[in-house]
Amino acid sequence: MHPAPAFRRNASRRPKNGNSRLKNKSETNKTHAGGSILNDPLALVLTPQSGDSRTDREISRLQQKIRDGRNLQLWLEQLGWAFVAKARENFDTGFYKLAEQCAQCIEKRNPQSQEAMLLRGHVLQNLHRFKESETLARRLVHERGLSFDYGLLGDALMEQGKLNDATEAYQQMMNLKPDLQGYARAAHMRWLKGDLAGAIEAMQLAVSAASPNDAESAAWVNTRLAFYEFQAGRFEQAQKLCAFALSLQGNHAPALLLQGKMLLARNRVAEAVDALQSAAKINPLPEYQWALAEGLRARGRENEASAIEAQLRQHGAANDARTVALFLATRGESPETALRLTKEEFDSRSDIFTHDAFAWSLAAAGNLAEARREMQRALAEGTEDARLFFHAAMIASQVGDAPDAKRWLRKASDLSHLLLPSERNELQNLAGRGAKQNASAGPNTQKLFRSGEIPRGNPKTKT
């Protein structure tokens, strides 16, 4: 059985007309066994796929095994996980749908199949249907309790903001099978709890457990470790890890995005734009488009930046409503839309970052008292995150709490290299106002740091 995919923060959703890339899209109109191929799960998963990557060849091999007619359940399960791997590689949710069809094929033959249940649970998780994923995961844990079952349960709980329960599930996963999957989840949980040093330690274990046979997972854990090192102010180490991730998988969009952000932080804007353009071309989600627009604007390419932002506004909410809400609130645009998007996000998840987006949208709409309450919920776990601290400082300043504003401003400034340029500018302006009139008036044009420098933060040490 293929391993369960490692946890991805802000799991990508990139719909492409609801279908994966078919070798010949006209084939979807053909009939198979007396009915439309779209109504026949087996015919759909056996549709030839384009591409010549290692994963594409594996998909073709497994499809042929199924056509041969032996051990169908085994090959359907493996094909489902191959589709999951493909979705992770190219950020096309159509492949998750194909994986779901594989689970359906298995269930037709064995309605109680736990293998199909796990596969379907991961599809639901990646489509941000966390409550449904949790239901399946709890059933799996009750019926058999394998490490992957606990991993799925922890992921679903974590996305819903139930961190203590998620920690218990992840601990059970680690007790049963300490491997890349468990180490990566432990690292993220430590990071969420404000333990950067512990997160680095756990992710280093994940990196050491990575296999070149799963290049995407290896690239992911190296990229995530690079982010932790970047947060700690160790830019050169972060840069090396990013480069290694890209040597494993040259089109790994998260590594390209992080590389672009690191270059922006060092004022190497031209190189940053190149990396961000590559990242957004592979995965044009709002997070990627926003970063690219910031880079283009810093480069003086205002028209291109505006065009990217127009695409984000027009289409982004269908793919990542939370990031679009953050973008709108940061720009001071359409606060009612930002509020609506964040409220809708709570239907599927209520983690600290959703509370943060809601707080920021409330502040943009002028509802400062409620914004502050939501911000407290976002900060409750002790997560060391630059954007959280930036938002907390701004909201505290707006409600007139100078001591709180100063405290969060200091923490945000320590991690300001992680912010986008426009956010750093706003943080800088807030610092200027605080220096002049105790957080009451006046801009400050002093640069946060000189070209080529990154201020070192003060990450918490492991306890």
Band (pLDDT 50/70/90 cuts) for residue 8 is low
Structure tokens at 81: 């996980």
In the chain, the percentage of residues whose pLDDT exceeds 70 is: 85
| Between residues 343 and 444, the one the model is more confident about | 343
Instruction: Judge whether residue 350 has pLDDT over 80.
Output: yes
Residue range 21-61, pLDDT digits in tens: 444 333 333 433 444 555 789 999 999 988 888 899 999 99
DSSP 358-423: HHHHHHHTT-HHHHHHHHHHHHTT----HHHHHHHHHHHHHTT-HHHHHHHHHHHHHTGGGS-HHH
Query: In the prediction, which pLDDT does 38 show?
Result: 56
Range with the poorest average pLDDT among 64-73, 141-150, 428-437:
428-437
- 457: confidence class by pLDDT, cuts 50, 70, 90: very low
Kindly list the structural domains of the chain, giving each domain's residue range(s) and its CATH number in brackets, ordered by start: 14-19+29-127 (no CATH), 323-437 (1.25.40.10)
The reported pTM is: 0.86
pLDDT at 12 over 50: no
- Residue 452 pLDDT > 50: no
Which pLDDT does position 234 carry in this prediction? 97
Q: What is the DSSP string of 297-330?
A: HHTT-HHHHHHHHHHHHHHGGGT-HHHHHHHHHH
Is the confidence at residue 64, as pLDDT, over 60? yes
Q: Return d(Cα 305, Cα 355) in angstroms, integer.
A: 28
What average pLDDT is seen over the chain?
88
* pLDDT tens by residue, 213-244: 899 999 999 999 999 999 999 999 999 999 99
pLDDT mean over 53-73:
93
pLDDT at 325: 98
Q: Which residues make Cβ contacts (< 8 Å) with residue 8, sequence separation at least 6?
A: 88, 220
Q: Quote the CA–CA distance of 265 and 187 in Å, as a whole number.
A: 24
pLDDT at residue 434, rounded to an integer? 73
Report the range of poorest mean pLDDT among 144-158, 275-289, 333-347, 422-436: 422-436
Tell me the per-residue pLDDT of 145-198, one tens digit each, with 9 for 90 and over.
999 999 999 999 999 999 999 999 999 999 999 999 999 999 999 999 999 999
Residue 75 has pLDDT above 70, yes or no: yes
pLDDT of residue 28: 37
pLDDT for 362 equals 98
The secondary structure of 208-257 as a DSSP string is HT--GGGHHHHHHHHHHHHHHHHHTT-HHHHHHHHHHHHHH-TT-HHHHH
Specify the pLDDT at position 83. Answer: 96
State residue 18's pLDDT score. Answer: 41
Query: Could you tell me which residues are beta bridge partners of residue 35?
Result: 32
pLDDT for residue 101 is more than 50: yes
- Which tokens belong to 460? 């918490």
pLDDT of residue 212: 87
- Residue 90's pLDDT is what? 86
Among the ranges 87-91, 168-172, 428-432, which has the highest mean pLDDT value? 168-172
d(CA 330, CA 403): 23
Distances (CA, A) of 29 to 37, 107, 168: 7, 25, 48
Cβ-count burial of 29 within 10 angstroms (0-12 exposed, 13-18 middle, 19+ buried)? exposed
Residue 400: predicted pLDDT = 95
Does residue 390 contact residue 412 with C-beta atoms inside 8 Å?
A: yes
pLDDT at 455: 38
Residue 462 has pLDDT above 70, yes or no: no
